[in-house]
């Protein structure tokens, strides 16, 4: 479930820009930046790399609407994308009660970054820890690690290009733990072509899945109907 | 030869039991189509299992003609051997039972030629049955459900193949299924040589196919590497291999590819070897057989 | 004249049992050759060997002067046969059956030929009906039509009157005579009924337990002036060799496992007896049968009558 949270969350990460040294102030700035984008509609390429999904690359449309609506649509064909979650939004994250810890500086792919850790005030929350890697010079979030009780640690990597002015990424890569997929052989009557060796690679439980979205165009704040997200 | 083949085909297609198969396939296909039209969502939910909690499943798009056809083939190709055996098992034994075998064998036609023609006629029947199956399962499904990308549920993976990458796979799959079912035809044909009524070879063929299929599908490691590679039923499923795509280093399926063409070709040659073995045994045995019926 | 059918030393064993045992006979062009024996005597097995349905264990078969194994196709083109019951494709019409078998016999008949053939056997009016609806007699007629459609030189009819009513039997007899006298066909007819063979055959062969008992002209075999003499001897094969050098050779009809069978006038029996003794043959008994029928009955026993009525 929290994977979906992460997914939504990360779509907002680009617009978190941190000018001040004080982590609390940085979070406040994030909140203000978030308000500037009410919605967007983007065209993107979707690459799926999940061990039990053999899916070709697809062209999709990504819809977002404040505060927490997100939808990925494949009009021409079928894509299996992580489901949207409406239970927790980034708003609640940045508006919620978190302790922000400054974890100092680091290097991410050669770029100097500030590392901030968000700890939920509520000890019973599913979210255990969120770590943000921020390019302070360009005020961009380059990476986020989100650890939840249910799904372990999910990661998001962001890269910027054409839409850097709007703080929207050209590419987002999500990586997460996946569950197993299994159907009884008596149902599928599979043909054993000798290529299916997934079962022999050991621990099923800790497989990593990756989804990569490469954005081509964004249309920002044009106004989107709620019905799109149904 | 052509003259004899015409005679054999005439005999097959004037028999009412021949049309049972076409009727049965038609009925089964329409039943499956109706069920999926009425409640295809449940079936898809069953296929995706727990994934429906974490993935967005576009049910309406998944339930398209290509997908329906794949389900039909998956369900039916297991049962069609029965229909093939119905005609192939009757090929010699039926004539023995009717008393016409002694008449045709005492005609100026060599027994080898007679057998080849009879098997050829059985193959034509098998091919026509599959063309009929292809027509109603593919064409009717497309008519009723439209086309879209196809979702393939494998034992340990879900696959998606783009709609424009599907048709050639179906053509290849139907061609392969013809070879696969010809193996059943060849087996029934061989058994037909021994019997003097057609029930025996039909029942025996089906029993063999069922037992072999069970052995193929049981996941017993001891069998997996010992007898399984030699069971023709394992190889008969290779038509599905055309719906398994290669995956690149980044985990994306590559359109237009086949995961393991080599394995399919191997299965093809194994089946061809079985056919050749069954048919040549049938011919040799029939040549030595005293016709007492 | 070369015989049309020349069978020599023909044997067939099924799982060690000899069903046909060292059988030799010949059929001449124009013969109506009666093939007589009780049920199970090996008639059908012999006929099936002539038609290549059964492979002989040993022996040689020549038809039309050709070896059957080597020239199978050429020979079978010239044979028409009805083997036991005239079974045909029940789900096809009489016309379709006839057309189908004609093509299998290597000819391409036109419609008129087929209809004419059906008229000859008297079922043209039912040509379009499925054989399933035919009576036994009609099936028999259609079987004959199938046997004749490719104008064969030799016609083999295995128990052609089985299952027919008296009228059917009479019709069949007339048809055989017609084929022989007017169409000059050579015909082999098998039966377990002596009188049937007697009425139509020119030559005949009696077999029992797969062995030849008697072969010859029907007219001489059933000559009331002649009698069948069966001499029971110790070593029939050796005795037969001795006899062949004497005047009795012409009278010797066959050698059975325990006896020599002669056909001669009753008053010649004492001479025969004396000469056999002179030849040093140990005679266990010598019996004169009154007629061929009595002889045939002695071979087949009372079963003959039972068989005649149950069939």
Any idea of the CA torsion for B30, B36, B37, B40, to the nearest 10 degrees? Answer: 180
- Token readout for B48 is 């995706």
Long-range contact pairs involving B251-255 (C-beta distance under 8 Å, separation at least 24)? B251/A47, B251/A48, B251/A49, B251/A50, B251/A51, B251/A210, B252/A47, B252/A48, B252/A49, B252/A55, B252/A56, B252/A57, B253/A54, B253/A55, B253/A56, B253/B159, B253/B160, B253/B161, B254/A56, B255/A56, B255/B161, B255/B162, B255/B165
pLDDT at C48 over 90: yes
pTM listed for this prediction: 0.84
d(CA C33, CA C311): 22
**Residues of B whose CB is below 8 A from A195:** 244, 259-260, 263
Give the pLDDT score at A86: 31
pLDDT at B35 over 60: yes
Does the beta carbon of A208 lie under 8 angstroms from any beta carbon of chain B? no
Please check whether residue C33 is in contact with residue C186, taking contact to mean a CB–CB distance below 8 angstroms: yes
Average pLDDT over residues C243-269: 85
Which residues in chain A show pLDDT less than 50?
1-2, 14-20, 84-90, 199-204
Please check whether residue A96 is in contact with residue B166, taking contact to mean a CB–CB distance below 8 angstroms: no
**Each residue's pLDDT tens digit, C197-230:** 888 899 999 998 888 888 888 877 777 677 788 8
Task: Determine whether the interchain pair A181/B49 forms a contact, defined as Cβ–Cβ distance below 8 Å.
Answer: yes
The residues spanned by each domain of chain C are: 5-220, 223-290
The residues spanned by each domain of chain A are: 18-229
Give the pLDDT score at A148: 79
Taking the CA atoms of B209, B214, B219 and B222 in sequence, report the sign of the dihedral they define.
negative
**Residues of C whose CB is below 8 A from B105:** 51-53
Give the pLDDT score at C76: 95
Please check whether residue C47 is in contact with residue C188, taking contact to mean a CB–CB distance below 8 angstroms: yes
Share of chain B above pLDDT 70, in %: 100
Q: Under an 8 Å CB criterion, which residues of C touch B?
A: 48, 51-55, 72-77, 79, 81, 83-85, 87-92, 96, 100-101, 103-106, 146
The yes/no answer on whether domain C5-220 falls in CATH 3.40.50.300 is yes
Give the pLDDT score at A84: 47
Q: Which of C54, C79, C100 sits opposite B291 (nearest CB)?
A: C54
Calculate how close chain C gets to B104, using CA atoms only, in Å: 7
The yes/no answer on whether domain C223-290 falls in CATH 1.10.3470 is no
**Residues of C whose CB is below 8 A from B292:** 48, 53-54
CB atoms within 10 A of CB B290: 14
- Token readout for A61 is 């449309």
**Each residue's pLDDT tens digit, C113-171:** 999 999 988 899 999 999 999 998 899 899 999 999 999 999 999 988 888 888 888 88
Chains in touch with B (3+ beta-carbon pairs under 8 Å) read A, C
d(CA B224, CA B265): 19
Please check whether residue B18 is in contact with residue B129, taking contact to mean a CB–CB distance below 8 angstroms: no
Alpha carbon C168 to its chain centroid, in Å, reads 20
- Token readout for C285 is 């008994």
Average pLDDT over residues C40-67: 94
Give the pLDDT score at B167: 94
Q: What does pLDDT average to over chain B?
A: 91
- Quickly state the pLDDT bin for C303 (edges 50, 70, 90): very low
Please check whether residue C12 is in contact with residue C53, taking contact to mean a CB–CB distance below 8 angstroms: no
Calculate how close chain A gets to B255, using CA atoms only, in Å: 7
B56, B45, B50, B253: which is closest to A7 by C-alpha? Answer: B56
- Token readout for A152 is 């372990």
**Each residue's pLDDT tens digit, B239-257:** 999 999 998 888 888 999 9
**Each residue's pLDDT tens digit, B151-208:** 998 888 889 999 999 999 999 999 999 999 999 999 999 999 999 888 999 999 999 9
Residues 43-72 of A with CB under 8 A from B: 47-57, 72
**Residues of A whose CB is below 8 A from B160:** 53-56, 77-80
Average pLDDT over residues C229-253: 87
Q: Give, in order, the Cα–Cα distances in Å from A21 to each of A17, A34, B117.
A: 11, 19, 90
**Lowest model confidence (mean pLDDT) among C16-30, C177-191, C285-299:** C285-299
- What is the ipTM for the molecules in this complex? 0.86
Strand partners, A39: A65
Residues 189-218 of B with CB under 8 A from A: 217
**Each residue's pLDDT tens digit, C283-299:** 888 887 766 677 777 66
Burial class (CB in 10 A: 0-12, 13-18, 19+), B225: exposed
Please check whether residue A69 is in contact with residue A84, taking contact to mean a CB–CB distance below 8 angstroms: yes
Q: Which of B13, B107, B197, B289 to mutate to test the interface with C (most CBs of C within 10 A)?
A: B107
**Residues of A whose CB is below 8 A from B253:** 54-56
**Lowest model confidence (mean pLDDT) among B203-217, C214-228, C250-264, C268-282:** C214-228
- CATH fold of the domain at A18-229: outer membrane lipoprotein receptor (LolB), chain A (2.50.20)
Give the pLDDT score at B220: 75
Chains in touch with C (3+ beta-carbon pairs under 8 Å) read B
Same fold, C5-220 and C223-290: no
Q: At a CB cut-off of 8 Å and minimum separation 6, what does B68 contact? A: B32, B33, B36, B40, B137, B141, B144, B145
The residues spanned by each domain of chain B are: 2-287
Write phi, then psi, for C17 (nearest 5 degrees).
-90, 125
Residues 93-112 of B with CB under 8 A from C: 98-100, 102-110
């Amino acid at each position: 479930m929290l994977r979906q949270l992460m997914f939504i969350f990360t779509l907002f990460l680009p617009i978190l820009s941190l000018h001040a040294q004080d982590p609390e102030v940085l979070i406040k700035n994030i909140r203000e930046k978030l308000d500037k984008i009410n919605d967007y509609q983007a065209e993107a390429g979707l690459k799926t790399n999940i061990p039990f999904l053999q899916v070709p690359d697809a062209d999709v449309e990504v819809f977002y609407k404040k505060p927490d609506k997100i939808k990925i649509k494949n009009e021409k064909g079928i894509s299996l994308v992580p489901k949207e979650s409406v239970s927790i939004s980034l708003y609640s994250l940045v508006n919620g009660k978190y302790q922000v810890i400054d974890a100092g500086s680091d290097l991410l792919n050669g770029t100097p970054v500030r590392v901030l850790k968000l700890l939920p005030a509520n000890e019973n929350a599913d979210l255990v820890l969120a770590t943000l890697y921020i390019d302070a010079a360009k005020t961009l979030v380059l990476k986020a690690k989100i650890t939840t009780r249910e799904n372990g640690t999910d990661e998001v990597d962001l890269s910027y290009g054409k839409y850097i002015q709007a703080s929207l990424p050209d590419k987002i890569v999500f990586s997460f733990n996946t569950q197993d997929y299994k159907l009884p052989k008596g149902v599928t009557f599979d043909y054993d072509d000798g290529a299916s060796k997934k079962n022999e690679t050991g621990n099923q439980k800790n497989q990593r899945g990756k989804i990569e979205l490469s954005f081509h165009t964004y249309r920002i704040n044009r106004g989107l109907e709620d019905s799109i997200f149904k | 030869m052509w003259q004899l083949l015409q005679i054999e085909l005439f005999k097959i297609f004037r028999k009412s039991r021949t049309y049972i198969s076409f009727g049965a396939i038609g009925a089964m296909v329409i039943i499956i189509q109706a069920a999926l039209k009425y409640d295809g969502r449940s079936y898809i939910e069953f296929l995706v299992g727990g994934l429906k909690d974490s993935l967005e499943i576009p049910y309406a798009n998944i339930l398209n003609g290509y997908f329906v056809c794949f389900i039909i083939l998956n369900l039916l190709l297991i049962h069609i051997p029965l229909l093939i055996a119905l005609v192939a098992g009757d090929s010699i034994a039926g004539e023995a039972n009717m008393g016409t075998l002694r008449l045709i064998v005492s005609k100026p036609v060599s027994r080898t030629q007679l057998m080849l023609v009879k098997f050829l006629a059985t193959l034509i029947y098998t091919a026509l049955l599959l063309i009929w199956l292809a027509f109603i399962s593919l064409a009717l499904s497309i008519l009723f459900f439209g086309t879209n990308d196809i979702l393939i549920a494998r034992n340990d993976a879900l696959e998606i193949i783009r709609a424009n990458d599907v048709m050639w796979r179906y053509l290849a799959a139907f061609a392969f299924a013809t070879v696969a079912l010809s193996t059943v035809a060849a087996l029934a044909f061989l058994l037909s040589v021994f019997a003097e009524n057609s029930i025996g070879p039909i029942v025996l063929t089906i029993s063999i196919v069922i037992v072999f299929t069970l052995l193929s599908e049981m996941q017993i490691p001891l069998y997996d590497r010992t007898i399984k590679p030699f069971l023709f039923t394992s190889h008969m499923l290779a038509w599905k291999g055309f719906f398994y795509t290669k995956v690149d280093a980044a985990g994306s399926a590559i359109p237009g590819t086949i995961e393991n063409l080599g394995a399919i070709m191997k299965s093809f040659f194994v089946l061809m070897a079985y056919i050749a073995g069954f048919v040549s045994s049938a011919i040799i045995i029939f040549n030595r057989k005293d016709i007492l019926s | 004249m070369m015989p049309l059918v020349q069978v020599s030393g023909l044997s067939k064993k099924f799982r060690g049992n000899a069903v046909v045992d060292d059988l030799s006979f010949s059929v001449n062009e124009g013969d109506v050759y009666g093939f007589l024996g009780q049920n199970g005597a090996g008639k059908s097995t012999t006929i099936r060997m002539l038609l290549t349905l059964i492979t002989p264990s040993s022996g040689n078969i020549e038809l039309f002067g050709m070896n059957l194994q080597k020239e199978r196709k050429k020979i079978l083109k010239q044979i028409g046969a009805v083997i036991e019951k005239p079974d045909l494709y029940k789900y096809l019409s009489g016309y379709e059956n006839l057309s189908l078998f004609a093509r299998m016999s290597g000819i391409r008949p036109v419609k008129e030929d087929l209809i004419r053939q059906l008229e000859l056997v008297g079922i043209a009016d039912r040509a379009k009906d499925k054989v399933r609806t035919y009576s036994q007699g009609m099936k028999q007629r259609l079987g004959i039509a199938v046997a004749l459609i490719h104008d064969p030189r030799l016609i083999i009819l295995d128990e052609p009157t089985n299952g027919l009513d008296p009228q059917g039997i009479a019709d069949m007899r007339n048809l055989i005579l017609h084929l022989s006298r007017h169409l000059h066909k050579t015909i082999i007819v098998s039966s377990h009924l002596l009188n049937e063979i007697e009425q139509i055959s020119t030559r005949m062969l009696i077999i029992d337990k797969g062995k030849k008992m008697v072969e010859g002209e029907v007219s001489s075999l059933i000559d009331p002036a002649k009698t069948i003499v069966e001499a029971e001897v110790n070593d029939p094969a050796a005795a037969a060799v001795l006899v062949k050098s004497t005047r009795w050779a012409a009278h010797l009809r066959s050698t059975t496992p325990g006896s020599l069978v002669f056909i001669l006038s009753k008053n010649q029996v004492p001479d025969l007896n004396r000469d056999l003794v002179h030849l040093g043959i140990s005679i266990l008994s010598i019996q004169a049968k009154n007629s061929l029928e009595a002889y045939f009955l002695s071979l087949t026993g009372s079963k003959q009558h039972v068989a005649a009525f149950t069939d």
